[in-house]
Structure 1
Amino acid sequence: MHHEDGPAAAKPSYTLWQLVRYMLRLGSLGFGGPVALVGYMHRDLVEDRRWISEADYKEGLALAQLAPGPLAAQLGIYLGYVHYRIRGATLAGLAFVLPSFLMVVALGWAYVRFGGLPWMQAVFYGVGAAVIGIIAMSARKLTEKSVGKDKLLWAIYLVLAVVTVVTESEIAWLFIAAGILVWLLRAPPRWPGKLQAAALTQMPLAGSLLGSVDGSVLAQVGIFFAKAGAFVFGSGLAIVPFLYGGVVTEHHWLNDKQFVDAVAVAMITPGPVVITVGFIGYLIAGLSGASVAAFATFVPCYLFTIIPAPYFKRYGRLPGVVAFVDGITAAAVGAIAGSVIVIARRSIVDLPTACIAIGTVLLLLKFRKLQEPAIIVIAAVLGLVLHPLLH
């Protein structure tokens, strides 16, 4: 192993297998969504074990926020990259995603097999409502963190929230436009950056190329999820409105109820929220559908992490890059806020579900440390009790 990075990349104090074991454990037990997972990595790897330096962690986090794709998975891939380059990035990423993928496939199998059974419907009746409360709180936390008191970012946030509610889908080019807008207003380039211009003209092109290919269902699933993985910024929740637009509205692969159940499954299982794609894939085309969907979603995020990693050390703090990221993040969080309303209209069907959703919000407001799976379990029990009484 030779390092060109000088003293910063001294010999790591851990083996690659120790890191892989850590990622497997985090993927199996890491509940609480992207922000929580990113927090666990800092606590365990930077503070407790001192495997990763604070500077490397911060760089990884900034890159993960900049690049599209699921935040926590990308940070995991980057932390693998820090000392063990491509091999470390690949194994760390796989180890992080695999446990929850296997769980989602098992749940998908159970759902297809028993989905018609009253108890399964009853569980999801409660859980679906609680999920709305959880997403609403996550959206609030993300809003405070990434939009704050910034008027320009608030404007972008509100526009995207409204667009999402009205169109019930996520419009990828609006994200890019928001990034460019903030970049031009906050840190206008003194000379037209060839690199930036090239990158920005390529992105919509790639989107339209992907859109025109047609084929078997598996090919369609692969193309759609690759787009989802490539265009979703910020937290894993940002993929929800995007998926809704494609899976339900456009392709009619799932109905509303199945989609809300899929989001619920993502909340119940540990690891990245994005893994809901495995469940959706399973409902569309069995095990092969699940594998294609998960693979297609994660490949862009993996490439977006390892390809820029070496350059990011040099250019990541440029004001232009920071402004671009701020714009895209505000847009993504706005879309999440809008999607809360879209999905709530679907899964809050009566008074009990409304109460469960509101109760979830109140619990999360009162008990900051409360873990989401605990709420999901309570909601599932409530569903089992209430659903038979009402239906």
Structure 2
Amino acid sequence: MTDLAKTSVRLDVPGEDIVPLSEAVKVWARVAALSFGGPAGQIAVMHRIVVDEKRWVGEHRFLHALNYCMLLPGPEAHQLAIYIGWLLNKTKGGMIAGLLFVLPGFLAIMALSYIYVIFGDVTAIEGLFFGLKCAVLAVVVQAVFRIGGRALKNKVMVAMAAAAFFAIFFLQVPFPLIIVAAGLVGYIGGLTGLPAFKAGGGHKSGSGKILEDRDSVLGEDIPHHARPNLAWSLKTSGALAALWLIPVAALVLTLGWNNVFSKVGLFFSQMAVVTFGGAYAVLAYVAQAAVEHYGWLRPGEMLDGLGMAETTPGPLIMVTQFVGFLAAYRDPGALSALTAATLGAILTTWVTFLPSFLWIFAGAPIEKMRGNAALGGAMSAITAAVVGVILNLAVWFGLHVLFAEVKPVVLGPLMLDVPVLGSLLLPSLVLTLLAAFAIFRLRLSVITVLAISAALGIGWRLSY
């Protein structure tokens, strides 16, 4: 146990932090810099540093916070950092933890976005993103198996996943409706005590040992600032809601509904409210709207953006920044293309991540939510539905990565995209199969597979 963990912390003193703020800032910067590999990798890094190494919070409290964050729309790893930062250093701690968690990825994807639009026609850059697309397709397929293995524990959950896939792939049902329907079914199932809807799962430390809450700096008690305080919650959440919604309203009032900045602000604000289930579920929703409805970017470009998010630190949902960048770049109005793109990326990031702070501070403290069967049932059902949504994403990506031509087919009430078999892209198929072999058989890390695929893509383009 660290020396800090041995000190006595007065949890009943209103002005006292649980840990020194300067030490917390260093730790959250370190967590942000190491946050590769999607939500699972980010949560594992956070757990290793905050629970195993620093012992600032115990295992049970960490899991409780994680379960709560998984019930919220938006990126759960980002919200978990905000919650633990708030728990340890009050409101300022949550703000710092949340901002640091996003900053490295924001800067990295902004730089890559500039490279993409300025040098995207260079052969080596084309090869880089060609390789990343094929690797990302394999990564998404892996996500279907990984999340499905955890979520589909019984026939009811399998049926919910299948129903979600059918609804979004064949009927074009909007993603938010699928999630709301699944949540309602799961909530009722959990409320009535049906076994199929019992939340399960858990999380061990990287060393395999369980650290009890009493062994941490925070211990088992609730700090003063985390005790019920409706006035604080309303004041803080009200300020955050204003910071989120007033800029969007100002854009609509001054620029009009049809301006690209208004559309970006409104769409990603809506996304922040309805996107449950993690980054891959968000991608399915964003791809459906940004590519097919708004026409902000092409299917292959969506994969390019995901490749950027996969290879940089921070939440995978940072891919939305790339979408906002391209949307404004192609419709700059009176601004220069790069200026508009920069503002579009900033606006997208603002309305995507600021609501995470709102959800945490509006719902904190959450200590009395432990073991809520109805909410657990809702989460189980939503997670099962998300498996179907991610499967749809994998099929959608696969069609556009492996085939040069895809045509829509209508069969009564059903509508689906069908590939033109003669347009099969053999290089894409070969590289995708190699990436899948590396992930599933060789069990290489995602970063390693992305790097190898990018190198192979560059090599193929240069020799083509």
- TM interval, shorter chain, is 0.7 to 0.9
Counterpart CA distance in 2 for 1:256 and 1:160 is 22
CA distance in 2, matches of 1:388, 1:284: 29
| Distance apart, 1:303 and its partner CA | 1.4
CA contact (8 A) 2:120 2:126 kept: yes
* 1:242-281 alignment runs, 5 A limit: 242-281=285-324
> How far apart, CA to CA, are the structure 1 residues paired with 2:95 and 2:78?
11
Letter in 1 for 2:104: P
- Say whether residues 1:323 and 2:377 are aligned partners: yes
The structural deviation recorded for 1:39 is 1.0
Paired residue total = 364
Write 1 or 2 for the structure with the bigger share of helix: 1
Q: How does 1:203-352 map to 2 (within 5 A)?
A: 214-285=257-328, 286-310=341-365, 312-349=366-403, 350-352=425-427
Q: Tell me which amino acid in the other structure corresponds to 2:182.
A: A
Structure 2: stretches of 5+ with no match in the other structure? 1-8, 194-244, 329-340, 404-424
Q: Residue 109 of structure 1 contacts residue 282 of structure 1 at CA under 8 Å; is this kept in 2?
A: no
In the alignment, the residues of structure 1 paired with residue 354 and residue 89 of structure 2 have an alpha-carbon distance, to the nearest angstrom, of 19
Deviations along 1:58-115, whole A, 9 cap, x unmatched?
1110111111111211111111111222211111000000111000000011111111
What residue number does 1:153 align with?
157
Alignment of 1:75-90 (within 5 A): 75-90=80-95
Contact 2:37 2:446 in 1 (8 A): yes
Rounded to whole Å, the distance in 2 between the matches of 1:10 and 1:61 is 26
1:80 maps to amino acid: G
Corresponding position of 2:411 = none
Displacement after TM superposition at 1:156 (Å): 0.9
Q: Could you tell me how far 1:10 is from its partner in structure 2? A: 12
Inter-partner Cα distance in structure 2 for 1:89 and 1:348: 43
Cα distance between partner residues in 1 of 2:23 and 2:172: 43
* TM-score normalised by structure 1 residue count: 0.87
Tell me which amino acid in the other structure corresponds to 2:458: L
Amino acid paired to 2:257: D
CA distance in 2 between partners of 1:344 and 1:117 (Å): 25
- Asked if the contact 1:230/1:297 (under 8 Å) is kept, the reply is no
TM-superposed deviation, 1:302: 2.1
Q: Paired residue for 2:431?
A: 356
Report deviation, 1:388: 4.0
Q: Partner of 2:170: helix, strand, or coil?
A: helix
Between stretches 29-38 and 93-102, larger displacement belongs to 29-38
- 1:7-40 C-alpha deviation (Å, 9 max, x unpaired): 9x99766322322322223323321111111111
Instruction: Give 2:184's aligned amino acid.
Output: I
3-state secondary structure, aligned to 2:23: helix
Aligned to 1:199: none
The Cα of 1:176 is off from its aligned counterpart by 1.2
Of 338-347 and 78-87, the range deviating more from structure 2: 78-87
| Alignment of 1:378 onto 2:383 | no
TM-score normalized by the length of structure 2? 0.74
Give runs of aligned pairs for residues 194-209 of structure 1, distance below 5 A: none
Change (3 A) 1:120 1:170: farther
User: Are positions 1:47 and 2:52 aligned together?
Assistant: yes
After TM superposition, give the deviation of residue 6 of structure 1 in Å.
6.0
Please state how far the C-alpha of 1:314 moved relative to its aligned partner.
Answer: 0.8
Q: CA 1:127/1:275 → structure 2, altered by over 3 Å: closer, same or farther?
A: same
Q: Does 1:178 align with 2:252?
A: no
Whether contact under 8 Å (1:68, 1:233) holds in the other structure is: yes
- Please, what is the CA RMSD of the aligned residues? 2.5
- Contact residue 189 and residue 374 of structure 2 kept, 8 A: no
- Residue equivalent to 1:193: none
What amino acid is the match of 2:33? Answer: S
Question: How does 1:124-135 map onto structure 2 within 5 Å?
Answer: 124-135=129-140
